[in-house]
Structure 1
């Protein structure tokens, strides 16, 4: 009976261990109600004397760019730093840190944006992807530009356990980038992250914030090869182990192939959801947004014209416009063209229709009188002159 109880206790401990291990380790610095974690150890440069308030620590840099630094000795490594603050104006601040291996005073920095308006906001800085980051840094700080008036409310230093990190690796492995014209030049493959903040913003920048998932393939093959070699030395078997290794290699390869195929299918699904299944006037095609839809709506107006005048913003759409407009010729005049009957105005806020019904560019008439015959979107329209 005693032995059975020990078995039950051991099983319960093993079942409970992952749950406890999934907990995030976090250190919170609260600046509310006059508190200043770190106390007098903060070192200020270019910053007015900070004011403690019930709403947080008020930090101002009236005459110059300012910074505030403090030594750090946390009981755990840090992957993500959360900074909660408020500012009346938009600012570009910087998070500062010192690597233990660097000389004193040599600081690294990561810029971040503060949105004005005075409302509380939390900026999540995922430091995992940066090789310059020291997870056990011995000093951190903040830098604010001249004129800043910021209310600092909280700083949190977060670290996830190995179980949580494994879950984020699995989740990020199956996250696909959105289709872009540059995809053919940047074949990222799977990108993995190790915390929820990194997973959420994985493809928000170029290059992606994360590590290549190919390391999973290499690691799996190394582990399998090492295990088979050790087993072969122990048992004295070799030939069958080679077969097992190549079977393991094939299994991992198939996993990656399935992942790549799923990425292509995700583009197909997105095209169906945003373009193929939508009625005309609501279709969005990848990074071209509503352009393809607009050209389909333009086609009936091209049947009796030889030229299509285009007034556009700086964008690469002109080549596609020429293709969709055939056999009509696309012209981009650099001056008035009253002989052009049909005009496509695409995202040009300086183009309007004057009181006489003419297209004007910066107030200068460019067309014969006419009217807008098709509003393609909020900033694009077709203009047709009334001349015969």
Structure 2
């Protein structure tokens, strides 16, 4: 019988081909879930802290009087990479994921913080457990911690993991996932990062710094392996020094070009996004990066304040809008509210839906009156308008 020798390169090619030819079912996530809607309450769930529970058609309403732990023992045949919680809440709540590692003391629980943001209807928070060093992909207890005085409706809890093929695909996708252009981009770019599941990829650039590891690490691994291989090759076969160094430099050049293509694509992605959302759209529909429609708004109100030396400007936050308004409306100058000693009668309001005109014609925010009665000169959208007090 003849036994042929399979080279490492052919073995790697065969392995990658076999991985890509796995059944499509391998792409789906493995999920263990508990559904609390329609008044369902699963057995096995326990609570510490004496909270009150109310079964509702859309989920389980939990009201806490003290710090509360709501959890259960589990026995799973798959690892846990993401804990997804479908919930509804009106206020931000700092929660915790609790877990217990098999073999530890029963009272030795670990926890990691996360935030329940306010929702309109049912929202989802995905906790990527793989980013925590103490998480070992398995547990025999999981739970949710809530602080004292909180109220939260939980509709569903899912424990999720993905197949090796799906992780490889998501890793490649995350390499080609670009950050959005920000003011900080003039100084630095985060560059490519890598994650191994679709939920982590969705959240990757929503926080600063990115919730992922840099791809640079893997490039360094490849370069270090290439240098080590070249050193051993030259030491073992000195006559092949030139050929080996050529191969090593070729590897470095390929990595450099590949990385340059990735970063160049990110710059072109910025241009494409600007064209699609700003340059190709008419005034009133276009938005510009993180400023949304502010540029068009400022240009439109500039003529309306030129008959005033000063006007009051309020927005979601001062920077960068206040400084930009100075440029757009000069010589008329924006200033802040609550200056009773100065006769400033014009208000420019940007993206503040909490500021309304009440029945008396006054500007009002959450029950507090801000101005004398007046009229809206022009309304651009809800919470964005120019208002002038009656003289």
Out of 376, 379, 384, the residue aligned to residue 375 of structure 1 is 379
Counterpart in the other structure of 2:5 = none
Q: Is the 8 A contact 2:53 2:61 kept in 1?
A: yes
Out of 181, 184, 197, the residue aligned to residue 183 of structure 2 is 181
Write out per-residue CA displacement over residues 42-75 of structure 1, whole angstroms, 9 at most, x where no aligned residue.
Answer: 7653347999x9x999685665333245555544
Out of 242, 260, 270, the residue aligned to residue 257 of structure 1 is 260
Q: Distance in 1 between matches of 2:58 and 2:349?
A: 51
**In the alignment, is residue 26 of structure 1 matched against residue 1 of structure 2?**
no
- Please say which structure displays the higher CA radius of gyration: 1
CA 1:228–1:48 in structure 2 vs 1: closer, same or farther (change >3 Å)? same
Report the aligned-residue RMSD. Answer: 4.4
CA 1:386–1:156 in structure 2 vs 1: closer, same or farther (change >3 Å)? closer
Deviation, 1:198, is 0.8
Q: Distance in 1 between matches of 2:85 and 2:370?
A: 48
Q: Distance in 1 between matches of 2:141 and 2:262?
A: 41
Q: Distance in 2 between matches of 1:374 and 1:57?
A: 43
Q: Output aligned runs, 1:96-245, within 5 Å.
A: 96-99=98-101, 105-113=108-116, 123-145=125-147, 155-161=158-164, 163-184=165-186, 187-236=189-238, 237-245=240-248
Q: How many residues align?
A: 361
Q: Distance in 1 between matches of 2:31 and 2:285?
A: 48
Write out per-residue CA displacement over residues 184-210 of structure 1, whole angstroms, 9 at most, x where no aligned residue.
Answer: 455311111111111122112222211
Q: Distance in 1 between matches of 2:322 and 2:123?
A: 41
* Range that drifts further, 65-74 or 184-193: 65-74
CA 1:224–1:202 in structure 2 vs 1: closer, same or farther (change >3 Å)? same
SS at match of 1:198: helix
Q: Distance in 1 between matches of 2:20 and 2:308?
A: 75
Gap runs ≥5 in structure 1: 1-10
**In the alignment, is residue 278 of structure 1 matched against residue 285 of structure 2?**
no
Q: Is the 8 A contact 1:305 1:342 kept in 2?
A: no
Deviation, 1:233, is 4.5
CA 1:300–1:262 in structure 2 vs 1: closer, same or farther (change >3 Å)? same
Deviation, 1:252, is 0.9
CA 1:83–1:260 in structure 2 vs 1: closer, same or farther (change >3 Å)? same
Q: Is the 8 A contact 2:83 2:160 kept in 1?
A: yes
Deviation, 1:377, is 3.3
Out of 287, 294, 298, the residue aligned to residue 301 of structure 2 is 298
Gap runs ≥5 in structure 2: 1-13
SS at match of 1:128: helix
Q: Is the 8 A contact 1:129 1:211 kept in 2?
A: no
Q: Distance in 1 between matches of 2:279 and 2:356?
A: 32
SS at match of 2:142: strand
Counterpart in the other structure of 2:324 = 320
**In the alignment, is residue 344 of structure 1 matched against residue 351 of structure 2?**
no
Q: Distance in 2 between matches of 1:260 and 1:322?
A: 35
Deviation, 1:350, is 4.9
Q: Distance in 2 between matches of 1:226 and 1:205?
A: 37
Counterpart in the other structure of 2:272 = 269
Q: Output aligned runs, 1:85-96, within 5 Å.
A: 92=93, 93-96=95-98
Counterpart in the other structure of 2:340 = 335
SS at match of 1:94: strand
Q: Distance in 2 between matches of 1:294 and 1:248?
A: 52
**In the alignment, is residue 365 of structure 1 matched against residue 372 of structure 2?**
yes
TM-score, scaled to structure 2: 0.73
Q: Is the 8 A contact 1:48 1:60 kept in 2?
A: yes
TM-score, scaled to structure 1: 0.73
Write out per-residue CA displacement over residues 131-181 of structure 1, whole angstroms, 9 at most, x where no aligned residue.
Answer: 3322234542233445757667554342431x3222111101111111222
Q: Is the 8 A contact 1:126 1:198 kept in 2?
A: yes
